[in-house]
Amino acid sequence: MKKYLLIGVSAFVLGAGSMAYVSSHALASAEPRAKTYRMLGLFGDVLDTVEHQYVTEVDDTKLIQSAIDGMLTSLDPHSGYLNPEDFQEMRDQTRGEYGGLGLEVTSEDGVVKVITPMDDSPAAKAGVKPGDYITAVNNESVLGLSVNDAVKQMRGKPGEMVTLTIAREKTDPFDVHVTREIIKTKTASAKMDGEYGVLRINSFGEKTTDEAQAAFAQLKAKNPNMKGLILDLRRNPGGLLDQAVGISDLFLEGGEIVSQRGRDPRDVERYNARPGDITNGMPMTVLIDSGTASAAEIVAGALQDRKRAQIVGLTSFGKGSVQTVIPLRGGMDGALKLTTARYYTPSGRSIQKTGITPDLEVAATRDEAQSIANRAFQFSEASFKNALNSQEGKVRVAAHEPAEAPPETFDAKKDFQLARAEDVLHYGSVAATPKLPKPTAKLAEIINTKARIAEVKPPIAK
């Protein structure tokens, strides 16, 4: 079976000879197992009671699937159950195209929250932003729904309009009208910006490494005097582990890219680069922000630890766990999406909750600088109540004034983070790049911000 991480299957069958005696271990394990059987009996009793006494007839299959999903989502934000339809949709999305809005979403306290809109997607064009809450789809509340159920309402026939009710910090809830399109998951593109190439990767699907290699080759052929490359991973929510390894391998001559470690600390799997750098050692910087997650963080961490590139932007999302998608009965009963390991950068650091810290911290706008100072608006892995902790006991950086933000004279139509990444290439390193004055973000404004959030929240809960 084809193996994926994020999407993959690992099956192990353990056998043992019969014992001529009852060991003390067997006696010790009998009581916990008996408790498990009692709890399964309790589940059966509850299901039977609901079947016979609930106010309307219920669908047993839906109830049991919801119970399975609830069990898995209680473990961490990224584990869950995919019914057969959801499993097929997930495979379709990873492989190629589907009818939808182009949103990467998650669930936070029963509310659908936007991780990021995909580049040039209908949602991005309509102005949906990372961190937005979606409270209703076509005027039907999605509060309390699983992410899968909410996504089902957003996907469908291309050409149809969908109305999203958005709750955003500092504003009252409002409606956004978005027309579904065929979402073609082309994940890599390249362009020139002055003397430097910009390779943009917006997610990690099955073809990302091939697409990125082809895009860079075409760009280099047209611009043989390119002086450096900027790898743009901003708002990249991640995807397939093998593609993160593949992208990293494009720029490394060898050595470790990432390792993953499961429950048993002795169970370590390492992924290494092969000889060959497609840029032939061209100077590189990497752009990240708080929407850079998972597989994208693997790439940023590998290039940073291996001293191949310096990182510009904001601290990344901080998702340092690996999910394995395990089909049930070949997918006929759906699949489990189960967190099976943490991943570690080449230097041995886990970025779970903490994220990748940039070498040069740069806010995209002055408003973003203020939100970093407030911290109230920082959406990250650490925002989830049941997120896995970092094994090292590290915590995410607290509220602070970012090192840089656009000066008032900077053209708002231009990309300030990109401009600073180009400055790093021009001067040769972050250390050699002239620093700009710190922005005037005020930590004290968090008090007023909390009051504004309190005013917005009641309409959300209706």
Q: What is the pLDDT of residues 284-315, one digit of tens each?
A: 999 999 999 999 999 999 999 999 999 999 99
Is 294 among the catalytic positions?
A: yes
Question: For 112, how many CA atoms within 13 A lie in the half-sphere containing its CB?
Answer: 26
Is 24 among the catalytic positions?
A: no
Q: Considering the candidates 294, 316, 321, 383, report the single residue annotated as catalytic.
A: 294
Residue 269 pairs in a beta bridge with 260
> Which of the four pLDDT bands, split at 50, 70 and 90, describes residue 183?
confident
Q: For position 393, what pLDDT does the model report?
A: 66
Amino acid at 254: G
Q: Considering the candidates 305, 353, 380, 383, report the single residue annotated as catalytic.
A: 305
**Tokens, residue 321:** 């766990």
The percentage of the chain sitting over the pLDDT mark of 90, rounded to a whole number, equals 58
**Tokens, residue 412:** 């708002």
Query: Which range is most confident: 1-15, 375-389, 395-409, 414-428?
Result: 414-428
> Which of the four pLDDT bands, split at 50, 70 and 90, describes residue 327?
very high
Q: For position 23, what pLDDT does the model report?
A: 44
Amino acid at 33: R
Q: For position 370, what pLDDT does the model report?
A: 82
Does the structure show a pLDDT above 80 at 159?
A: yes
Residues 6+ apart with CB under 8 A from 361: 313, 314, 315, 402, 403, 404
User: Cis before residue 143, ω within 30 degrees of 0?
Assistant: no
Does the structure show a pLDDT above 50 at 2?
A: no
**Tokens, residue 196:** 């430097």
Does the structure show a pLDDT above 70 at 5?
A: no
Higher pLDDT, 434 or 90: 434
Phi, psi of 426 (to 5 degrees): -65, -45
Integer angstrom CA distances of residue 115 from 261, 289, 312: 26, 12, 20
Q: What is the pLDDT of residues 329-371, one digit of tens each?
A: 999 999 999 999 999 999 999 999 889 999 999 999 988 888 8
Does the structure show a pLDDT above 70 at 3?
A: no
Q: Considering the candidates 319, 350, 353, 380, report the single residue annotated as catalytic.
A: 319
User: Cis before residue 6, ω within 30 degrees of 0?
Assistant: yes
Q: What is the pLDDT of residues 32-86, one digit of tens each?
A: 788 888 999 999 999 999 999 999 999 999 999 999 999 999 999 999 999 998 8
**Tokens, residue 98:** 């589907």
DSSP string, 310-323: EEEES------EEE
Does the structure show a pLDDT above 60 at 114?
A: yes
As a whole number of angstroms, the distance between CA 130 and CA 363 comes to: 15
Is 305 among the catalytic positions?
A: yes
As a whole number of angstroms, the distance between CA 45 and CA 53 comes to: 12
As a whole number of angstroms, the distance between CA 379 and CA 104 comes to: 14
Amino acid at 352: Q
Q: For position 412, what pLDDT does the model report?
A: 87
> Which of the four pLDDT bands, split at 50, 70 and 90, describes residue 110?
confident
As a whole number of angstroms, the distance between CA 374 and CA 401 comes to: 9
Total residue length of the chain: 462
Pairing relationship of beta strands 161-167 and 133-137 according to DSSP bridges = antiparallel
